[in-house]
Amino acid sequence: MQELEVLLDKLQTFKKMYQAMRIVDPIEKKVLDFRENKLCETGVACYKFWQKQHLCENCVSMRAFNENDTIFKIECSGDEVYMLTAVPVAIEDRQLVVELLKNTTNNLFWGNGKHDEGIKLFTMIDQINQAAVRDSLTGLYNRRYIDERLPVDILNSSLKHQPLSIVFADLDYFKKINDTYGHSSGDLVLKEFAKELKRHIRREKDWTARYGGEEFFICLPNTSLEAAKKVAERIRSSIEKKEFVVDGKPVHITCSFGVYTACNENECMTVDSIIELVDRQLYKAKSHGRNRIE
């Protein structure tokens, strides 16, 4: 309680500088309030402030939480622009984040004074925030997004008593593509492969990311092991039949898949542990002949 009292006392000095200050739990995405001498959930999702109905793709508080460092971000809420400062704090044995929000709509300028430059500013902010969590080659999410989003999905699946399935996909013998046709051709294959992944997942619920190189990550919330295997099989079959055009020549490739489903709410899952488990299944698929699912 002493830690909390000191924090609240310090925040008083920022009242005139910031339009909003709040304490959030970045994992549960909840805003906390100080009531009856303790921190309580308000039932308000932290992203509601930004007039959104879903999780932010580039969650600055999750970054502050993961990196244990103060993070800054420019974000839009309706027609207003905010500077957000996220500061990690430890209170009551909990790792939380203090968010300081300053309205900078009338203090930020962009362009040459034309009336449409303000719109471009909002577009630029959105593009910057997207770039932070997107793989520049494939347009899928990147490793940072996995680290920030997967803990939330793990918690949600546990609280809702729903299975969470993870699929690891690895293009077989991809090095031969690069060695034979060059890395630019290999990049084209990766882009086409990314499109196939997106085509076979649920747009509103599932998400996929480039884990690194030719390895890809698929998250399937509220999906059983059997259903996840069917998704992986549809992708595997589609890739096996697809004709990739590389340097003007038709090329056929295959892909190996590892699938793991966390379905026990008592199971203490972390990002590292669930990735280790699904990677183990991918290793089996490659060891047992590739172009298969384990």
Please report, rounded to a whole number, the percentage of residues in the chain having pLDDT higher than 70: 85
Q: Count Cβ atoms below 10 Å from residue 35 Cβ, excluding itself.
A: 9
Q: Which residues contact 55 (CB under 8 A, 6 or more apart)?
A: 29, 47, 149, 152
- Whole-angstrom distance, CA of residue 34 vs CA of residue 181: 61
**Cα dihedral: 284, 286, 292, 294 (round 10):** 20
Q: Which residues are catalytic?
A: 214
Say how many residues make up the chain: 294
Residue 145 per-residue DSSP state: H
Distance of CA 242 to the CA centre of its chain: 28
Confidence of residue 256 (pLDDT cuts 50, 70, 90): very high
pLDDT value of residue 271 = 86
The stretch 21-26 carries a mean pLDDT of 89
Q: What is the pLDDT of residues 118-159, one digit of tens each?
A: 555 666 667 777 778 899 999 999 998 999 899 889 888 887
- Whole-angstrom distance, CA of residue 109 vs CA of residue 105: 9
Residue ranges in 134-161 assigned as alpha helix (H)? 143-159
Q: Is the pTM of this model over 0.85?
A: no
Summary mean pLDDT of the chain:
86
- Give Cα separations from 243 to 178, 192, 238 (angstroms): 17, 10, 10
